[in-house]
Amino acid sequence: MDHLVKICGLSTPETLEAALAARADLVGFVRFPKSPRHVSLETGRALSAQAKGRAGRVVLLVDADDAEIDSAIEALDPDMLQLHGSESPERVAFIRRRFGRPVLKALGIATAQDLAAATGYLTSADYLLLDAKPPRQSDALPGGNGLSFDWGLIDSLDRTLPFMLSGGLDPANVAEAIRLTRPDAVDVSSGVESGPGVKDPDRIGAFVKAARAAFAVPAI
């Protein structure tokens, strides 16, 4: 994976256009009704068509069954599936094989033990996404909570697979996050919002610009 910048949770043509104009590499559409960023299949279809050929399109799913995945693929025709639930390595491998799309597996990280679990996905996923583990309250979302984790934990990561850093990133801290962790890609959602699910075009542009500049600095 080249150094990529992903804007996730886009839900309107205007904010998607802002991400595309900023030249984000990947744009993400959330299919999870509990999320303020959830899009219907019809809205997702229109947004995906808008982005086609201009950025990689990612559909985010949470413990989806085969019928849900079929519906999302039929409507959005994504370039990649992001699995953001508790999918096992076996389930990830099945989805990758059954649906023929690259799979980005998200893992919630709070401790070194959480990071060690990433090794189970080295032969079943195409990419890893490391996000902050969600709060323990019952209504917590699996991602998009604006929380970060201890980036120092990544020193012990097996980098067999390319990884995307997520969780608590914003235009002000993404350069430092890249400097410390040297990820293959970065992902942002709430960090470019003015309110839950409300993307800010100026913050989108600032995030992409800051990430690009940081990736251009050679690793020491």
163 DSSP β-pair partners: 128
Residue from 25, 131, 170, 187 carrying the catalytic annotation: 131
CA angle 104, 110, 112 (to 5 degrees): 90
On whether the CB atoms of residues 131 and 115 are closer than 8 A, the answer is no
Q: How far apart are CA 65 and CA 42, in angstroms?
A: 19
Q: How far apart are CA 169 and CA 120, in angstroms?
A: 26
Verify whether residue 65 is a known catalytic residue.
Answer: no
72 closest CA partner among 107, 43, 34: 43
Torsion-angle region of residue 172: left (phi > 0), alpha (psi -120 to 50) or beta? alpha
Paired tokens of 25 = 């590499």
Length reported for the chain: 220
Q: How far apart are CA 10 and CA 44, in angstroms?
A: 9
Q: How far apart are CA 75 and CA 171, in angstroms?
A: 32
Verify whether residue 79 is a known catalytic residue.
Answer: no
Instruction: Report which residue type is found at 159.
Output: R
Residue from 8, 25, 170, 187 carrying the catalytic annotation: 8
Q: How far apart are CA 131 and CA 66, in angstroms?
A: 24
The catalytic residues are: 8, 131
